[in-house]
Amino acid sequence: MSATPATPPPPPSPGLGRRERMLLAAVAAALAVLLLWLRGGLHPEASLEALARRSPDFATALNDGRPTVVEFYADWCEACRAMAPAMDTLERQHRADLDVVLLNVDNPRWQGEIERFEVNGIPHLELFDASGQPVGRSLGARRPEELEALTNALLTGTPLPALAGVGAISDLSAPTPATTPTAPSGAPIAPRSHG
């Protein structure tokens, strides 16, 4: 039998070259950016989340002597996310004079406030004066200039601007003159009597 010559082992492969390492680093960076983008890190909702984290406690905000804007929102709400950069700017510009509080409607912790303020659509803003008394509300998305107008009204104590979906809140505890209409017989007229 003849011996077959053994094949020599292949030469050892050198480690990754500089070009391969650079390409690998570029691919890793691209994947990291893609993952961040897909998880919402590069979208406007990131400022919504940041604003919610910076938001003061609701009860504290109502008692600190500054006007307060409370936004009822949800992470999945497109209008809330679209409005987030303007709300963030508003909070940054007026941080010393105004509280901006975000309450997530998906958090059961805020169920009492959701019911109290009859939140049935978002974004929903509740507006409070410096003494913590409700002065109005705004339903629906707001443009930056509308948010600024609402803020200026709160800061100056002037009436809220006439915008669609914005309304003042009446003080039902204020005394009103007793003017109950009466029928010719002198009996009070009931609301449904058509008298």
Catalytic residue ranges: 77, 80
Secondary structure (3-state) at 68: strand
* Bridge partner list, 124: 72, 139
Nearest to 90 by CA among 63, 71, 76: 71
Q: Contact 142/125 with Cβ under 8 angstroms?
A: yes
From the CA atom positions of the chain, what is the Rg in Å? 31
What would the two tokens of residue 45 be? 């909702």
Phi/psi class of residue 144: alpha, beta or left (left: φ > 0; alpha: ψ in -120 to 50)?
Answer: alpha
Residue 48: phi and psi, rounded to 5, are -65, -45
How far is Cα 69 from Cα 54, in angstroms, rounded to an integer? 14
CA distances from 96 to 29, 64, 93, 162, 183 (A): 39, 11, 8, 26, 57
